[in-house]
Copies of this chain bind each other. A is one copy, B any other.
Amino acid sequence: MKRSAIRELLKLIAQPGMISFAGGLPAPETFPVEPLRAAADKVLTTLGSQSLQYSESEGIAPLRDYIAASHSRPGYTVRRENVAVVNGSQQALDLLGRVLLDENDTVLVENPTYLALLSAWRPLGVRFSAIPCEADGLRVEDLPALLQANPKLAYSIPNYQNPQGSLMSLPRRRRLAALLREYGQPLVEDNPYGDLRYEGEPLPDVFELNARNGDAGVLETEVIRTGTFSKVLAPGLRLGYVVAHPSVIDKIVLAKQSTDLHTASFNQYLVLELLQSGLLKSQIPKIRDFYRLRRDAMLAAMARYFPDVVQWTHPQGGMFLLATLPHGANTSDILSTALAQKVAFVPGADFHLDGRGENTMRLNFSYNTPEIIEEGIRRLGQVLHHALAQCPRQPAQPVTTAIFSASGGKLTKSSEASALRR
């Protein structure tokens, strides 16, 4: 088991004066502190000790019902039996790995992909197989060949992927949903950032395009949809969920029982109260406006301060972007210099499967104010100018097929972002 690079870094960057683009922290200014205080008061007044007692491993019934209803569509019905509540979507990934994967199983993942997914499943002894990616998502046309290896699971973040911020296009979503059904291929669709959309129209989840009512009203789907309230409410409540076929939910619940019995009842009642109060209707637009400013501030500062030879992605949502330095540059080495200049990022190599990505860095734009982002990117720009001065002055080479490949021209879809990109 490898120590998570991100979380170790989080300790280093706690030094005073440090500007960190390393973590994946939401902005605390967006947390609904006052609504939560009112919710805690109401839950303890009306439910009292019931909200503090042991509860079912599946999650409390009214919260499961709420999640089920919010995932139902005219073409199919999600029921309570399709939902399990967990301690943030990270626990969903951990439990799914434990109940669905065996040693030497093949798992298809986007490359680069979410670091903590790799940390959670690597100890199981599985083999990760990379799905080539482009600016508009994984190369669905390559999937049939990859599926010949009988992967036990596939994993994707279609919305504003971590670490790249890429967004899977609607045609690719449709084709992926159909392929999963055709091959009976299970896919974990992780969607922590879907609501953090700063431009463009919302796209349907792969789950939505794949799910259908089966016999006896049982939901049929190859997609295992994980979700979380960490980004739209607050991460410190640790509340996430899985929506899937009942056979998958049953296995998760079995594992959950012996793992930690159940997710905190109190937190489930708190979040249910917030959801029923309609808070998200005002909360999500507020968060979008808030984070859009920060993304734009980072893109503008990068355009101003970063060396010409550096390229970066232009996410339409989410919390991260990925910058790529010229081939030969090593962002792990550069990090030491950056930390000395009181600015932090996550070197990109750990997100990559194939030993590449040494010249990439992940930058978070959700946590810092626009002013601090400007100052941090200025510092980082100086560090990069210095570090790259020794390098041959050649343009950045794409380290993966992601983002910078064939459809490179589609990198920037919004006119604002386009204007900021040089």
Contact = CB atoms under 8 A, between A and B. Distances in A.
A45 interface: yes
A257 B260 CA distance: 15
Q: Determine how many copies of this chain the complex contains.
A: 2
A4 B4 CA distance: 32
A261 B238 contact: yes
A353 interface: no
A99 B94 CA distance: 14
Contacts of A51: 236
Given A31-B49, A44-B36, A254 B25 contact: no
Contacts of A45: 37
Contacts of A120: 258-259
Contact of A238 (B48, B119, B263): B263
A235 interface: yes
A414 interface: no
Contacts of A10: 56
Nearest to A34: B44
Given A33-B48, A53-B235, A266-B236, A119 B257 contact: yes
B54 A29 contact: no
A317 interface: no
A90 interface: yes
A259 B90 CA distance: 7
A90 to B, nearest CB: 5
Contacts of A265: 235-236
A88 interface: yes
Interface in A27-58: 28-29, 31, 33-34, 36-37, 40-41, 44-45, 48-57
A101 interface: no
Going nearest first, the 4 A-B pairs with the smallest beta carbon separation are A236-B265, A28-B49, A52-B234, A91-B260
